[in-house]
Amino acid sequence: MERIPPELKNQIIRLVLFDTHDTNNDYTTHCTHHAHLHRSNRAQYAAVSREWQAHVEPITFKRLYLDPGRLDQARGIVTPSRQTYVHFIHFNSLLPSVRQGIWARRSEAMQFWTNSEVFTGHLAGLLLYLNGWTLPYENVELSLGISGNASYRRGLPVALPMDVYLQLPKIHFITKFRHFQIGVGHGNLTPRSCCKIASLFPNLRSIGWYLRETTSSHYGSRVQLRERFAAALILIPESVRNFGLAYYLRTGDHILDYIQPRAPDLLSISLRQLSKQLKKVVLKMDIGHEFFFVTNSSSKEAQWPLILDVTIIPGARTPQRDELFGRDAQSQLIIPVPRMINRYYLAAGRAAAHMPNLRCLKILWTSPIDMTLSYELRKDTLGARLFVTDT
């Protein structure tokens, strides 16, 4: 292969390493036992020759798939020179499998703390390992997953205790942080824990979280959980410019969930404050028009100086549990409640006027009807469009 041009040689090696079914970049499709074996078998091609090694290793070590049992193995294999090839790390915390009968006899609190203690140990092990890396760049994505026992089927989350979090090392080369719940049997961190972990990455630029919580007498009411999340958002580094969040809060057995709050939603307000440092924000959750509040409407000051794109996908109710949609008395079709929906439209319009770099602002409802309000920049003019599709 000495006479083959380097770029063509690289293409040939890539064809050897990747089959036609391995082009999907979605990590959820690769976190299977088969995928781990498939990737580990690729390493053998690096032993063909030194020339092959130079082409193979940047590909095979670009994406690392780790769990607690693989950390010791990684220390021996991912040498300092190979660390420079890494741009994506998926770490899956495997909680111990416990027979369903044993979990059923345990209280929710005991299950919660057991899961949290195990996860915390796993996370500490990962961060201590990464703390030993010395990379010449800051461009690594970290994806955290949690899987293991059956307690997740009852919606039990995992938390990172404050006393441990304060002792964990900061990792400067992590610039993207993802955390998603993937299917049945997989769990996720509490929102506060995600914020704590994000604060350990001082150069973080992008966040993508898919979070679920269930209210209960042990964890707190809907309002309490949202307020805890709101208070933790201040931990997110000022370097973050892209923020994507899907947040589902399921009503459980807390008595306060059935008392309708009237105060402004603190989570929407805290997200508004965070958005002022962002270029792009996508929120899919119950969010109030408070997100678009302009602190001084008479001032022309840019209150969102960096924002380029805003996509908000609210639920069918406000955070205060007011209905945004109802049925027309005559036609029985589902229609927006004007006095409720107009709060979002007017607030968004006022906010758009304070976003000098805005390219597009969208508010989309996908249930119970499809409805989109869009502010888009066209030929240096910001225009509004409204689309409604009855379903």
Q: What is the Cα–Cα distance from 368 to 239, expressed in whole angstroms?
A: 37
pTM value is 0.84
For residue 206, the model assigns a pLDDT of: 98
Predicted pLDDT of residue 246? 95
- pLDDT for 282: 97
d(CA 202, CA 170): 7
Distance CA 158, CA 113 (A): 8
Q: Splitting the chain (391 residues) into consecutive groups of 10 residues, what average pLDDT does each group show?
A: 64 56 37 39 50 69 91 91 93 74 60 87 96 90 82 68 90 95 68 96 97 77 91 97 94 65 89 97 95 76 91 93 89 89 91 91 88 77 62 43
Q: What is the pLDDT of residue 21?
A: 38
Q: Tell me: the pLDDT tens digits for 129-141?
A: 999 998 888 899 9
Q: What's the alpha-carbon Rg for the chain, to the nearest Å? A: 24
Phi-psi map region of 208: left, alpha, beta (phi>0 left; psi -120 to 50 alpha): beta
Locate the domains of the chain by residue range.
Answer: 92-259, 280-391
d(CA 46, CA 243): 38
**91 close to 74: Cβ distance less than 8 angstroms:** no
Q: Alpha-carbon distance 369 to 269, whole Å?
A: 26
